[in-house]
Chain A
Amino acid sequence: MPFKSLRSRIIFTFLTLILVVQFVGFIAIWFSINKNARVAITEQLGIGEEVLRNVITRSGENLTLSARILATDYGFRQAIATNDYETIKSALDNNGARIDSDINMLYSPAGDREVVSGSIPAYLIDTPILNLIESSQSGGNSFGTAVFNGKPYLLVAVPVKAPLTIAWIITGFEIDDSWAKRIQDVSKLEVSFITKTNDAIAANSSAITSKWNLLSTTMDKRSAQDIVKNIPLQWPQQVTAKNTALTKTMDSEVTIQDSDYSTRYVELLNDDNQVLVAVLQRSISESLAPYLTLQLNLLALTILGALVFIAGSIFTARRITQPLTALVDTAELLEKGDYSDVIRSNSNDEIGHLGRTFDRMREAIGERERKISKLAYWDELTQLPNRAFFTDQLLKFAENYKENNQTFSVLMMDLDRFKHVNDVLGHSAADKLLTGVAYRLKANCKGDNDIVARLGGDEFGIILANTNAALAVEVARRLRSALETPIALNDSFVDLSAGVGIANYPEHTKDIELLLSRAEIAMYAAKNSASGVTVYHSGLDVANEENLSLVSEIRVAVEQNQLSLYVQPKIDFATGKLLAVEALVRWNHPERGLIFPDMFIPFAEQTGHISKISYWMLCESARYAAHWQKQGLDMTLAVNLSARDLIDIELPNKLKEILAEHKLSASSLSLEITESSIMDDPARALDTVERIAKMGIQLSIDDFGTGYSSLAYLKRLPVNELKIDKSFVMNIEHDNDDVTIVKSTIELGHNLGLKVVAEGIENKNVWNILNAMGCDYGQGYFMSKPMHASKLLDWSKQWAQQTILVMAED
């Protein structure tokens, strides 16, 4: 049976037990009582029979005694000896009056009835008397029963001796109603006497019926009929030995007046003529009456016991389950992560023990969870929270925005060239580096609610509370400058730089995951740009639907020749002549029109399509170079290569093929590579670069100054040219630092034997400054915007005429 609670299970179990026990006990006692009652009835009947026998025996003995007194009287004997019948009769009369007997007679030793005193019952027959005399003479009973004229008598036969037996005194009482009453008084049984003429006699005489006849009874008349009716037909079965009555009994149960009686039949006489039976009866219901009270008491006790037991069970169950319920409540709190609920168990029993153990477990689990969550949310190395904590915090900040409308920004930062540090200086140095970075980041995030976390590897995340985009950029720049101070590792100093991506909540998205990935995208964009700090915008997003479709269309663009080759001239400061052009790519999208490389080159790099674009660029550049040579315009085309191109070991061979195809010399093409493109896989990149250099193709370092300016590398690279990043050049008029940088770079390049190219020259003033600094070549809007390659011939003619003017204005 299913139970909702332990309590009802306990109560049910105990209740069932007690009810079963009580019921079984009740049944057992009930049966026992019934059995005992019947045993008691049987005993009562036995006692009744004993009383009956005693009464008969005592009466017989008394009668015998009185007759004996008469028999020993000398005068009486003399009267008998002398046949003085008158005297004998008067003596018998006298004796009969004294003992109040109903029969007084004298029989001769030969069995003749000689003298009769008073009246004797009609139909008196000698047979039972002679039987009695014979019994008495031979030492048997001197008394016995007889039925005369339908009435039972108790008779005694006493010899008169002088000194031999000269006569028999026969005297007797009628066994009347008073006998039954006497026996009833002592035994408390119903007593009846019944008789019938023996079957054998009845069979011989049609006048006599052998029906049972009620002689006397203590019951009422109506019951009497039932007594006679209920006598078993076959009993007594046969004539017993003469005058040995009072031996045969039979028990049965009969119904009289609708109530059951235990009945004992006691055979008093069963001779040739008559059967005399005493019937002793006890009402069963009367006998059971006292037991019924007992049973009712027992039932009441049983019910009371069950009630007490129920109360006890409920009390016990409650005592057991109440602490358990408390434990359940606490366990539910534990489930929710609340470990504060103290369990108080004072009892010393198992439940109390359980409670205390449970409480210790609660404390232990709480402590362990604190440890685990620290581990789970903590980065041991940097002593900063980890990504999991960072994400959790973001969720909390998001919640906080809902309530307090407080915006926040996520900054994601990735160290440049960390892999290189790790490879060159080892893990422990890398760990120190990370620790140092962590320290600096923490030191520069001043907001109380700002969170700095290590997201993994060399990636750090920062949450700036209650901020906006402008503030976030400011903090990002501050962080970047904080990292600029080299970190001392193993007696050497390592320069640090990092790209920082910024995404604002809810400006950029309300989805935390998305916010993180957008900060990450911005970070990658930052690393690719000179400034090093980029705020997310949809243009960066690969996942942006527009961009995504672009990515998928790049391949098609290459195959369907949607790309166009643009060129921007490089001008010699000294002569003002067009010496070379930088090859640039534009995408003539069939639907969107002209797309600038910023929009698709980063994705092409990520997806690998950059190789195809690079190859297309090389081929197209070679074609134009050959074309221009035929037109008499001899100059170099500089093509940008990506990191991916540099690890392509087939690149030198491809270059050879392209040059051969257009019958060009190696000087017709030059290649521009960024420092960072080499750093992805310096070994292979260097190998490629060296092979290309050996072919005689010139190499230049692009965007110089934004990347990792290891002069050691620069020294090893077989390059011919440096291109100063336009971010330095554009501000050169106003920023003295930039002046210093550009000037130093030019000097550095020259000292290394390299030509120096400046990009981003937008006016004459800048041209002049750079010219004054000794810069070799210039590139910028001041001279020309990038133009379609097909327009270069016209431009070059135009420029040749302008040159004088430009130089003249100087």
Chain B
Amino acid sequence: MNKLLPHHHLLICSILLSAFTVPTYAGELTVNVLDTAGAPIENAVVYAEPENISPLPIAPAIIEQRGKQFNPLVSVVQTGTDVTFPNFDSVRHHVYSFSPAKTFELKLYSGVPANPVRFDKAGTVVLGCNIHDNMLAFIQVVDTPYFAKTNKMGKATLSDLPNGNYTLKTWHYALAKEKDIFEAQLAVKGSQAATINLTLKPFLIPARK
């Protein structure tokens, strides 16, 4: 089922931060992403880039191809993450990306490709299948381990977020202007909640089963 989000001419971003009782070492940031009409936005990628990145082990990610669809539609990975593209369909797929963040192609294959693809540059990668025009997926590659996707309620939670100063960013594939990723400086001190309003353009997601 296609989901057509409302269209707005102006980008209006605002953040409302409220302080809770803040633990000294870490906190939890709950972000509500709404559109300009106040409706929750799903699949928005919320991530917070700290001023200083402390190295953390990076877990590999999986984007399945099932029923001639990528799953999930939107993925968010930290820079340097290896992503495998297991094909669960009986047909073969030709996964490609012409996105500047990562250009690659996995020529016709079935099953699990031998090598995962490493996404080592931050940015948005649009995935397609050269065989099946309807297959579409997004990978937001971020330079931080602190990231989350909004659920249907438009809610994303960044947990175990150490106190400190962050740049809070929010991306969505239907952003009215693709380059205008929402950014806000955020000083994390304990748990906090924030509400972000995004202006989206109509975006036709091909039918997903």
A667 close to B (CB within 8 Å): no
Asked if A81 contacts B136 (CB within 8 A), the reply is no
- List the B side residues contacting A77 at CB < 8 Å: 98
Considering only residues 133-187 of chain A, those with a C-beta below 8 Å from chain B are 161-164, 166
B103 at the interface (CB under 8 A from A): yes
Which range contains the number of B residues in contact with the other chain? 10 to 19
How many of chain A's residues touch chain B, expressed as a range? Answer: 10 to 19
Cβ–Cβ contact B133 & A72, under 8 A: yes
Closest to A138 in B: B202
Give B135's nearest chain A residue, CB to CB.
A163
B98 touches A78 (CB 8 A): yes
> Which stretch in B30-38, B85-93, B123-131 binds the other chain?
B123-131
Once the chains bind, are B136 and A163 in contact (CB under 8 Å)?
yes
Contacts A78-B98, A81-B98, A82-B98; A162 near B103 (Cβ below 8 A): no
B132 nearest in chain A by CB position: A163
Residue among B103, B126, B130, B135 making CB contact with A74, cutoff 8 Å: B130
Please give the distance in Å from B128's CB to the nearest CB on chain A. Answer: 3
CA gap between A74 and B99 in the complex, in Å: 14
Q: How far is the CB of B177 from chain A (nearest CB, A)?
A: 10
Complex CA gap A164/B138 in Å reads 10
A77 to B128, CA, bound (A): 12
| Complex alpha-carbon distance, A77 and B96, angstroms | 11
How far does the alpha carbon of A72 sit from the alpha carbon of B133 in the complex, in Å?
A: 9
Q: Mark B34-56, 1 if CB is under 8 A from A, else 0.
A: 00000000000000000000000
Q: How far is the CB of B57 from chain A (nearest CB, A)?
A: 32
Q: Find chain A residues with CB under 8 A from B127 CB.
A: 163
B96: which A residues are within 8 A, CB to CB?
Answer: 74, 162
Instruction: Give residues 114-159 of B contacting A (CB, 8 Å).
Output: 126-130, 133-136
B128 touches A81 (CB 8 A): no
Please give, as numbers and ranges, the residues of chain B lying within 8 Å of A82 by CB-CB distance: 98, 103
Task: Judge whether A163 and B103 touch: CB under 8 Å.
Answer: no
Neighbouring A residues of B136 by C-beta, 8 Å = 163-164
- For A79, the closest partner residue in chain B by CB is B98
- Shortest CB-to-CB span from B137 to chain A, Å, is 9
Compute how far the CA of A77 lies from the CA of B94 in the bound complex, rounded to whole angstroms: 14
| Residue from the set A72, A78, A164 with the largest chain B CB neighbour count within 10 Å | A164
Contacts of B98 in A (CB 8 A): 77-78, 80-82, 162, 166
For the complex, give the distance between the alpha carbons of A74 and B131 in Å. Answer: 10
Bound CA–CA A72/B135 (angstroms): 14
Chain A, residues 44-80, CB within 8 Å of chain B (1/0): the string is 0000000000000000000000000000101001101
Task: Give, as a whole number of angstroms, the nearest-CB distance from A744 to chain B.
Answer: 173
Chain A minimum-CB-distance residue to B70? A163
Compute how far the CA of A74 lies from the CA of B136 in the bound complex, rounded to whole angstroms.
16
Is the beta-carbon distance between A164 and B130 smaller than 8 angstroms?
A: no
> Which B residues are in CB contact (< 8 Å) with A81?
98-99, 103
In the complex, A161 Cα to B127 Cα: how many Å?
Answer: 11
- Given A78-B98, A82-B98, A166-B98, A161–B133 Cβ distance below 8 Å? yes
Distance in angstroms between the alpha carbons of A72 and B128 in the assembled complex: 12
Name the residue among A72, A78, A163, A166 with the largest chain B CB count within 10 angstroms: A163
The docked-state distance in angstroms from the alpha carbon of A81 to that of B104 is: 12
Bound CA span A74–B134, Å: 15
Q: Which residues of B contact A74 (CB under 8 A)?
A: 96, 130
Can you name the residue of chain B whose Cβ is closest to the Cβ of A78?
B98
Residues of B within 8 A of A161 (CB): 128, 133
Q: How far is the CB of B158 from chain A (nearest CB, A)?
A: 28
Taking CB as reference atom, which chain A residue is nearest B127?
A: A163
B134 partner residues in chain A, CB cutoff 8 A: 163
**Chain A residues with Cβ under 8 A from B99's Cβ?**
81
Chain B's closest residue to A166 (CB) is: B98
Considering the chains assembled together, what is the distance between the CA atoms of A80 and B103 in angstroms? 13
A164 vs B136: C-alpha distance in the bound complex, in angstroms?
8
A163 to B134 alpha-carbon distance, docked (Å): 8
Shortest CB-to-CB span from A70 to chain B, Å, is 14
Other contacts beyond A82-B103, A163-B126, A163-B135: 6, CB < 8 A: A74-B96, A77-B98, A162-B96, A162-B98, A163-B134, A163-B136
* Residues of A near any B CB (own CB < 8 A): 72, 74, 77-78, 80-82, 161-164, 166
> Which residues of B line the A interface, CB within 8 A?
96, 98-99, 103, 126-130, 133-136
* List of 10 A-B pairs having minimum Cβ-Cβ separation, nearest first: A81-B98, A163-B128, A163-B136, A162-B98, A74-B130, A164-B126, A162-B128, A163-B133, A78-B98, A161-B133
- What are 28 A-to-B residue pairs whose CB atoms are below 8 Å? A72-B133, A74-B96, A74-B130, A77-B98, A78-B98, A80-B98, A81-B98, A81-B99, A81-B103, A82-B98, A82-B103, A161-B128, A161-B133, A162-B96, A162-B98, A162-B126, A162-B128, A163-B126, A163-B127, A163-B128, A163-B129, A163-B133, A163-B134, A163-B135, A163-B136, A164-B126, A164-B136, A166-B98
